[in-house]
Amino acid sequence: MSSKKLELEIVALSHSVTQAHSYAVVLGEVNGVRKLPIVIGGFEAQAIAVALENMQPTRPLTHDLMKNMMLATHLQLLEVLIHRIHEGIFYAKLICQSGADTLEIDSRTSDALALAVRFDTPIYTFESILDSAGLQMDESVPKKAAAEEEKKSKIKASATDTDLKKLTLAELNKQLNAVLETEDYIKAAQIRDEINSRK
């Protein structure tokens, strides 16, 4: 892919206000305003949160075990690359170094992010992925206004949750702006995917 590589950082772990047991890891463009929400499961969210908070579990979690094995075999994680999105699913690679060899290892994006946090390595994606799946946050929206709209948006979101396919593009874009104000990144990712499926 000839698209320019851009660095991302984890800016939030978000719990859905409309769906139980749904989480999104929110990646922010370094030196930019776009956000890339990726829906993940509860276990993966916990694995990322534990590393972000520098918690020390009494026994190693799966990603801690992976890190220990990589360190023991002198496999160094250089970077994580989110290289593709297909039908709303993100694909990632671990770019590793073993001696003089550079290895690319396929990974679920959530696992790659959990390891990136543990190794403190950079996370990258391509500009084309941010163009198609990134969400631009309106920094001019005051937090108070967003908070006042939250209840209305929750009601609106649950009412329209049933079928995004029935909405027009204009209605989808309006709803996308409403859920972004309340920082419901999971709902935003679902609406984004529906919008992209119509292009």
Q: Is 149 helix (H, G, I), strand (E, B) or coil?
A: helix
- The structural domains of the chain, ordered by start, are 5-133 (3.10.690.10), 141-197 (no CATH)
Q: What's residue 176's pLDDT?
A: 87
Please provide residue 20's backbone torsions phi and psi, each rounded to the nearest 5 degrees. -70, 150
Please state, for a pLDDT cut of 90, what percent of the chain lies above it. 46
Radius of gyration (Cα) for the chain, nearest Å?
A: 18
Q: What's residue 141's pLDDT?
A: 43
Q: What's residue 153's pLDDT?
A: 42
Q: What's residue 145's pLDDT?
A: 42
Among the residue ranges 98-107, 114-123, 156-165, the one predicted with the least confidence is 156-165
pTM (global) more than 0.85: no
**Residue of 138, 134, 130 whose CA lies nearest to 181:** 138
Question: Given the DSSP bridges, would you call strands 5-15 and 123-126 parallel, antiparallel or unpaired?
Answer: antiparallel
Q: What's residue 65's pLDDT?
A: 95
Which residues have CB under 8 Å from 84's CB, separation 6+? 90, 91, 129
Q: Are 114 and 64 in contact (CB under 8 A)?
A: no
User: 4 burial class (0-12, 13-18, 19+ CB within 10 angstroms)?
Assistant: exposed
Among the residue ranges 35-39, 96-100, 114-118, 173-177, the one predicted with the least confidence is 173-177
Task: Go through 101-138 and write b for each residue having 16 or more CB atoms within 10 A of its CB, e for each that does not.
Answer: eeeeeebebbbbbbbbbbbebbbbbbbebbeebbbebe
Say if residue 91's pLDDT is above 50.
yes
Q: What's residue 20's pLDDT?
A: 62
- Mean pLDDT, all residues of the chain: 84
User: Could you give the dihedral angle defined by the CA atoms of residues 126, 130, 131 and 137, in that order, rounded to the nearest 10 degrees?
Assistant: -150
Q: Which two tokens stand for residue 144?
A: 């108070």
